[in-house]
Amino acid sequence: MCGIVGYIGKNQALPILLEGLKKLEYRGYDSSGIAIIGPEGLTTEKSVGKLANLEQKLPSRTITGTIGIGHTRWATHGRPSDANAHPHLSPNGRFAVVHNGIVENYLQIKEHYLAGHTFCSETDTEVIAHLLEKFYDGDFEDAVRQMLQVVRGAFALVMICLEEPDKIIACRKDSPMVLGVGDGENFIASDVPALLSHTRQCIYVEKDEICLLTAEKIIIKDQNGNIIDKTVHTIAWDAESAEKDGYDDFMLKEIYEQPQAFRKVLSGRIEQGKVAFSEFELTENELAKWRKIYIVACGTAYHAGLVGKMIFEKLAHIPTEVEVASEFRYREPMLNEETLVLVISQSGETADTVAALREAKAHGAKVIAITNVLGSAIARESDYTLYLWAGPEISVASTKAYTTMLIAEYLLGAYFAQIKGTITNERLAEILHALAQLPEKAQQLLSNDFIQQINTIAEGYQKVHNLFFIGRGLDWAIVLEGALKLKEISYIHAEAYAAGELKHGTLALITDETPVIALCVQESTYEKTISNIKEVKARDAQVLIVTSENHQQEAAQISDAQLLLPLADNFIAPILSVIPLQLIAYYTAKIRGCNIDQPRNLAKSVTVE
């Protein structure tokens, strides 16, 4: 949610800022802007819409200068417009600010500190630039410190000052920020992909730290002005992993990366027939304490949690509830030392999930995180963290992070079960064997022939207005994610229903214009789902069945189209079942001409509550 970049060094800032923003556009894309200090003073350019609009404005007046900041926005306060785009300037035009997050008390600040000031935008951010001007008395750092005494909220800020053009100052409360360490140049970004083509040496900025960047050095101080000794990390990803690599869209690339991501999330975690994690080791006593698990997450990660519930209850015999994070924290859930809270988040920075995590910890619950982002807020604040190792996920619609979240849950469930003794060695061996086979089976689903079948199905959906997904048990958890994928990127209204529940009201919506996608992989409910399929067929719905290849014959008899999945252990099968649904969403959106990686109104990571 909002991408910020900063550069100071020996090269022209403009191309570096634009390139960095391009890498961060997944964080927000309703407007963008840059500010650069150069021979002409402090110059800004901003534009509503995608970054391409800003680039179009620029060639006529190239802005020179070797220090600058940039921003790509996902609107919170004030609609997308040129005026609301960042950077925001102080009234005298000598300070420029880019901001990710929310200044919660901006209205009080306007009243108490900035009475009489005229503002050019409807944003909360503009008060920061005004405060810097008000507090500036020849010392930029001091003005920033005074400003930080006044503002409340969750934010990351990057600021420049015309009077002190040899430095950028950056600070963060809750929104993420990473510094890139170069040679005679330094970088700031909301996320690692923006740094990768320049440096792989990076410093993660923590809450309440203030960073002073010059071309030659980076100094990081705490709230009291003491210098902090920070670790410089080497990023393991290469620049290509954040590029489209010949694919039309990041989403397609990320769908195709799944076999590889499966190998990574499994790697080193199955040893001699047992699950082991290098990140942590739990004891029997510790596990015995946990009488209940809450899985808390948002969006796609919440859907992964629904599968998790079935895993933890079945394998580890621990009652499990799943809740969306934005509801969980406000309903006073029963949390204590006997509760385990599992937070799941691709980005590790979703504000609702972070808040739920803090609520859990405040009540004495232990927290395990499943996340993809190293050093993210959720990883740092949890008691234990299990990384997905899926590589950067850029497309707003999550795919490989979702399937690797499922694998992480299966591993964790099996790990609990082996410690608690709630699984036989034979069943454990079967599950681990089935997990190890996943990369190969996922690869089969990405064959040209299968993609061709999906394309034909997607063509049939291009003019559809409403669509139903049905399934039972684990199949139901997966169709929820399938429907979300389709809605997010194709804008077709889709509903996922527990197949047995359809007849209790919603069947009224089924007509020959409402196609139904039935996921029918779970053998234990296969026959029941087939009956539900017959119910919708009897109301003239066009039905696509997604089932295992052993059901080919029956599926062909009762449906209009079939997609057949390779046989897999039924309990593990959901990881494969979702892949055709991801592909249906992708190709339907593609045929409808949608912007797949940047769907309207959405952002990849949502750092406001």
Residues near ligand G6P (CB under 6 A): 298-301, 345-347, 350, 353, 396, 398, 602, 604-606
* Lookup result for tokens 């795919």: 399
3-state secondary structure of 112: helix
Provide the minimum distance between the beta carbon of 406 and ligand G6P in the complex, in angstroms, as a whole number.
13
Provide the minimum distance between the beta carbon of 353 and ligand G6P in the complex, in angstroms, as a whole number.
5
Of 46, 309, 441, 604, the catalytic one is 604
3-state secondary structure of 337: coil
Q: Closer CB to ligand G6P, residue 320 or residue 347?
A: 347
Does the annotation mark 292 as catalytic?
no
Q: Closer CB to ligand G6P, residue 103 or residue 355?
A: 355
C-alpha 195, offset from chain centre = 18
C-alpha 321, offset from chain centre = 22
Of 2, 161, 171, 594, the catalytic one is 2
Return all residues near 552 (Cβ < 8 A) that are at least 6 apart.
Answer: 562, 564
Cα-flanking dihedrals φ and ψ of residue 42, to 5°? -100, 115
Return all residues near 45 (Cβ < 8 A) that are at least 6 apart.
Answer: 33, 34, 54, 57, 58, 61, 63
- In the complex, which residue's CB is closest to ligand G6P? 299
Q: What residues pair up with 275 in beta bridges, in sequence order?
A: 270
Distance CA 266, CA 247 (A): 26
- Nearest Cα neighbor of 26 from 573, 543, 602 is 602
Measure the N-to-C terminal CA separation of the chain; round to a whole number of Å.
11
Distance CA 241, CA 239 (A): 5
Provide the minimum distance between the beta carbon of 168 and ligand G6P in the complex, in angstroms, as a whole number.
27
3-state secondary structure of 41: strand
Q: Closer CB to ligand G6P, residue 182 or residue 299?
A: 299
Rg (CA), the chain: 25
Q: Closer CB to ligand G6P, residue 1 or residue 555?
A: 1
Provide the minimum distance between the beta carbon of 322 and ligand G6P in the complex, in angstroms, as a whole number.
14
Alpha helices in 274-345 (DSSP H): 284-289, 299-316, 325-328
Does the annotation mark 2 as catalytic?
yes
Q: Closer CB to ligand G6P, residue 161 or residue 386?
A: 386
Helix 438-445 and helix 258-266: axis angle, to 10°?
170
* CB atoms closer than 10 angstroms to residue 291: 12
Alpha helices in 113-257 (DSSP H): 126-135, 140-150, 250-256
Q: Closer CB to ligand G6P, residue 410 or residue 571?
A: 410
Cis peptide bond upstream of 392, omega within 30: no
Q: Closer CB to ligand G6P, residue 86 or residue 604?
A: 604
Angle at 409 between CA 488 and CA 428, to 5 degrees: 140
Distance CA 44, CA 50 (A): 17
Provide the minimum distance between the beta carbon of 547 and ligand G6P in the complex, in angstroms, as a whole number.
27
Provide the minimum distance between the beta carbon of 371 and ligand G6P in the complex, in angstroms, as a whole number.
8
Provide the minimum distance between the beta carbon of 398 and ligand G6P in the complex, in angstroms, as a whole number.
4
Provide the minimum distance between the beta carbon of 299 and ligand G6P in the complex, in angstroms, as a whole number.
3
Q: Closer CB to ligand G6P, residue 185 or residue 597?
A: 597
Q: Write the single-letter amino acid at 520.
A: C
How many CA atoms lie within 13 Å of 180's alpha carbon, on the beta-carbon side? 28
Provide the minimum distance between the beta carbon of 445 and ligand G6P in the complex, in angstroms, as a whole number.
21
Q: Closer CB to ligand G6P, residue 353 or residue 385?
A: 353
Report which secondary-structure segment, H or E, holds 574: helix 574-591
Distance CA 158, CA 4 (A): 8
* CB atoms closer than 10 angstroms to residue 285: 8
Provide the minimum distance between the beta carbon of 350 and ligand G6P in the complex, in angstroms, as a whole number.
3
Contact 220, 210 (CB under 8 A): yes
Q: Write the single-letter amino acid at 483.
A: A
Q: Closer CB to ligand G6P, residue 300 or residue 542?
A: 300
Q: What residues pair up with 35 in beta bridges, in sequence order?
A: 44, 69
Contact 338, 354 (CB under 8 A): no
Distance CA 378, CA 385 (A): 8
- Residues annotated as part of the active site: 2, 604
